[in-house]
Amino acid sequence: MKSEVALDAAAIEIKRLFVTPVAQLAHPQAEALNAALREVILARRDAQPGVSHSNEGGWQSSHDFVDWAGEPGRCLADFANAFASQLTAVYAPPHGLIEPAFTWRYNAWANVNEAGQSNALHGHPGAFWSGVYWVDDGRAQEGEEVGGELEFIDPRGLVPSVYNPDLRMRIEGCVAAGCSTTLAPRSGTFTMFPSWLMHAVRRYRGSRPRISVAFNFGL
């Protein structure tokens, strides 16, 4: 009997159970929309004091973004609503999963961060989907490193890495098990994720204001 095992790695069947989805979608008219949003958000920041929630420094508007953001705000809200609906199904016996026919209840707010500012770790209780649209990621040129990454914490906590922090699951989508994962903001891109997924925004280091709009969706 041979002691060596001839293992066919390509024959391994892997089921990725309990996946946590994080979806991203670029707005098709981002350049024009972002120019209009930037103007209205910065004007609002200069005219109204901000609120303090997860933001560590920076300006955050009240949750009535669509009420004061005019046509650009309504355009973004329509896009965000369609995105949330596309990611959602409704279980309806005996038909199984069907497309949603309801109208989302949602709120939205604008964020402006300057260099050195960030957002603490938090979740969004009372919502189903949460998302952020990057109006201006703060890069002066493509490839510039300006920090401010959106950081997601593994919802299973430290459990996968407690045995030995040096071990990793050599499986696509599982390498960061027990750790955090980051996404770099991209102007014109909407990122949607489950509202219970804990997240933070790392310290921003850019030279101009970073601008985003956040949404919560529920019933």
* Percent over 70 (pLDDT), the chain: 98
**Alpha carbon distance 113, 146 (integer Å):** 12
Confidence check: pLDDT of 5 > 90 = no
| Least confident stretch, 22-36, 44-58, 124-138 | 44-58
pLDDT of residue 156: 82
Confidence check: pLDDT of 3 > 80 = no
**Alpha carbon distance 158, 149 (integer Å):** 21
**Alpha carbon distance 173, 56 (integer Å):** 30
pLDDT band of 1, cuts 50, 70, 90:
low
Instruction: Summarize pLDDT for 51-94 with one digit per residue, the tens.
Output: 988 999 999 999 999 999 999 999 999 999 999 999 999 998 88
Q: Could you tell me which residues are beta bridge partners of residue 119?
A: 55, 201
Query: In terms of C-beta distances under 8 Å and separation of at least 24 residues, what long-range contacts does 166-170 make, across chains too?
Result: none
Give the mean pLDDT of the chain. 93
Instruction: Summarize pLDDT for 148-205 with one digit per residue, the tens.
Output: 999 999 888 877 667 777 888 888 888 887 888 999 999 999 999 999 999 999 999 9
What domains can be seen in the chain, in order of their start residue? 24-138+184-218 (2.60.120.620)
The dihedral sign for the CA sequence 95, 101, 107, 109: positive
**Alpha carbon distance 154, 35 (integer Å):** 35
